[in-house]
Amino acid sequence: MFKTYLSEQEMLRRFGALPDTRFTVDQRSKNDLRLRLPGRNLYKLLRWFKSRQDRELFPFREFYEELVRPGIVAREAFGVFDCKYHGLRHLPLRFNSCSQYQQLIVAEIYELRPTDGQLELLRKVRGRHYGGG
């Protein structure tokens, strides 16, 4: 989940966007880029998103939250890592039956470029969790 550096008031002013109230906001989800907006403002929001201004740009926090914090990989081994940006992708706009709204999912694609030591650790993790080598 991307983070925005714009306030709720600024998101409302620029895009008519309101927070998605289906999710409880806590310290980890604060400033998540999960919102509702009028369809007429979708392309304006996407232009802003593609500009990479005032939002999270790199996958470091997400990597930490998904892999380091739960103990899947060691913080000491992955305190620093390299990745290559492959671009922006989005799924087609579709109706979400749970929310009863149209939904657009946007993702940035990164390739992890581990050191030899990090790669060896990842292979061990894969073997431990998936029974493969």
pLDDT digits (tens, 9 = 90+) for 31-70: 999 899 999 999 999 999 999 999 999 899 999 999 999 9
Query: Could you report how far apart the first and last alpha carbons of the chain are, in Å?
Result: 30
The pLDDT assigned to 9 comes to 94
Task: Please answer whether residues 25 and 19 qualify as being in contact, where contact means their C-beta atoms are separated by less than 8 angstroms.
Answer: yes
Q: What is the mean pLDDT of residues 76-92?
A: 93
The pLDDT assigned to 132 comes to 58
**Where does 1-133 have alpha helices with state H?**
8-15, 42-51, 60-63, 116-130
pLDDT above 80 for 130: no
The pLDDT assigned to 133 comes to 52
CA distances for 113 relative to 17, 79, 116, angstroms: 36, 14, 9
Q: Look up residue 91 and give its amino acid.
A: L
Task: Please answer whether residues 33 and 62 qualify as being in contact, where contact means their C-beta atoms are separated by less than 8 angstroms.
Answer: no
Q: What is the mean pLDDT of residues 9-28?
A: 89
Task: Please answer whether residues 110 and 83 qualify as being in contact, where contact means their C-beta atoms are separated by less than 8 angstroms.
Answer: yes
pLDDT above 80 for 76: yes
Q: Look up residue 40 and give its amino acid.
A: R
Give this prediction's pTM: 0.79
The pLDDT assigned to 99 comes to 81
